[in-house]
Structure 1
Amino acid sequence: MLDFIVNHQTCTKCGQCVTDCLATIISLNEDGPFIAPEKEANCYRCQHCLTICPTGSISILGLDPEKSLPLTGDFPNATQMELLIKGRRSIRHYKPENLEPEVVQRLLDVASHAPTGRNDRQLLFTIVDDRDKLAKLREEMMNGLGRIIREKSLPEGREFFADIYKAWEEQGIDTLFRGAPHLLLVSAPSDTATPVQDCLIAMTTFELFAQALGVGTVWDGLLKWAICDLMPEFRSRLGIPENHVFGYAMVFGKPAVHYARTAQRETAQIHRIN
């Protein structure tokens, strides 16, 4: 059941919900907008009808429009967005402390708004939200890595993990997790429309909002390789379902470094089609 409810006292019958319905299942009569029961199965659950209604007269899926944030022109301006994007840096030095739980939850709540292919919205955010837990995981993974190296089982192209382990074993240098207190893994069922892309879009959303909150992040390709190519047993250890595609890994926390200016990149490579 879609639970499509219209407040007829405030509805102006403007028809915007009808025009913007992607599934074209909303109709309008003299009483206002409605969805015929036989068309409900075709709903994309995109909530366009709820969000476009200027008077907040539409509820769907049991959602209260009063609990949505109003879009009143409070978006960051173009200059602010440009600075956020250009000023984003990969952080590889972190303070040895946890983020506040409400900050972590807010990051995840915002990341869950990232678009997904076909509006599947089946992403799984797997998180280590405590630095002591992550330290234990790091110890387990380093021990596993050491075993693989001693057995001379590193696959071709991943020989550099021997140097990562040596730096950890001899100098306590944590190249795998960068000393961060928190870890985020994003995965999606393999039978969704775009599982890998969905994971990357969500993680990019997470990262940009993290920057806005003063939280540092780094895309952790080394950890992804370690799990996918060297120690796949850690998929189950971390609770990633067997039918999921592991999109990517990211560590994050309070940065111990702060950058003063943006980097200067080369002009984008552009191919314009005539």
Structure 2
Amino acid sequence: MITIDAQKCVRDGFCVQACPANLIRMDGGSVPEEIDGAADRCIRCGHCVAVCPTNALDNALTPAGDYFPTPEKRPDAEAMENLLVSRRSARSFRKKPVSREQLERLLETARRSPTASNSQKLSWTMIQDAQRLDRVRELSLEWMGGDPARSHYVESARQGRDVILRNATALAVVHGPADYAWTAIDGTIALTYMELLAATMGLGTCWAGLVTAASKAVPDLLPVLGVPEGSQVGGAIMLGHPRLKHLLIPPRNAARVTWL
């Protein structure tokens, strides 16, 4: 699985330190080598290749030729903090649709989010079809109709407000195997990646929590969301061009911290 160019290798041991499954060993000043059975236990994270400063290592499961350099242009702490604290949920969208190019860019970044043991078991549905979005609204509202705690949503819907998708023109749904324990967590991380990138692109987002909850109680909603049999919804967010611009950052409760 792992091959080393002995002429390039400087024996720094970085690949040994980086492997999360301890599949590489290096005895004394020797060239690193994989342990027995490494190919069956490798999680394909690619760290062994990515940390080698001399490009001496290759992994057949994640070939070095498929990598690209880490960008040097990245936001500093202040820029990142400004993005995080200024991000707001959009609950009013314009009718202008999000372009296919923008949606593909969001998906390209979201697919690189971390997953448990690099399992990469998530799949996506990107819904733009107006009739399908209407069906999502309809089934989600039917589910809420039986819950007195959500009666205010149903009443708002009767008054003509879109309480389910807020008139968003796109809905991103992430899903994974029903027997996979980390679908919700992996999905939340992936959607967060998408949400933050969308903010830099001038797009608005809002977590579609009602749709996610309804998908667990209404089997008929799953095929509408493009979720195949044997899979579960890990989360969903609305996407669109926001109608409103937030000029201030609202207050939030102070962090409740226990220092140990």
Question: TM-score scaled to structure 2, two decimals?
Answer: 0.86
Q: CA deviation at 1:184?
A: 0.8
Partners of 2:135 and 2:224 within 8 A in 1: no
The aligned counterpart of 2:90 is 91
Structure 2 matches for 1:1-274, cutoff 5 A?
Answer: 2=1, 4-28=2-26, 32-36=31-35, 38-60=37-59, 61-65=61-65, 67-72=67-72, 74-128=73-127, 130=128, 133=129, 135-144=130-139, 148=142, 154-168=146-160, 173-229=161-217, 231-273=218-260
CA displacement, residues 75-109 of structure 1 (integer Å, 9 cap, x when unaligned): 31111111011001001222322223222112111
CA displacement, residues 151-198 of structure 1 (integer Å, 9 cap, x when unaligned): x96244343343143123xxxx32211111110112222333422211
Change (3 A) 1:142 1:15: closer
Structure 1 unaligned segments of length 5 or more: list them: none
Partners of 2:140 and 2:211 within 8 A in 1: no
Change (3 A) 1:70 1:8: farther
Q: CA deviation at 1:214?
A: 1.9
Matched residue pairs, number? 258
Give the SS at the match of 1:248: strand
Partners of 1:142 and 1:165 within 8 A in 2: no
Inter-partner Cα distance in structure 2 for 1:221 and 1:38: 43
Identity %: 28
Structure 2 unaligned segments of length 5 or more: list them: none
Amino acid paired to 1:56: N
Partners of 1:117 and 1:193 within 8 A in 2: no
Q: CA deviation at 1:36?
A: 4.4
Partners of 2:206 and 2:239 within 8 A in 1: yes
Inter-partner Cα distance in structure 1 for 2:179 and 2:32: 34
Inter-partner Cα distance in structure 2 for 1:212 and 1:64: 30
Partners of 1:187 and 1:246 within 8 A in 2: yes
Q: CA deviation at 1:31?
A: 7.2
Question: TM-score scaled to structure 1, two decimals?
Answer: 0.82
CA displacement, residues 191-238 of structure 1 (integer Å, 9 cap, x when unaligned): 334222111111112111211222210011222234334x43010222
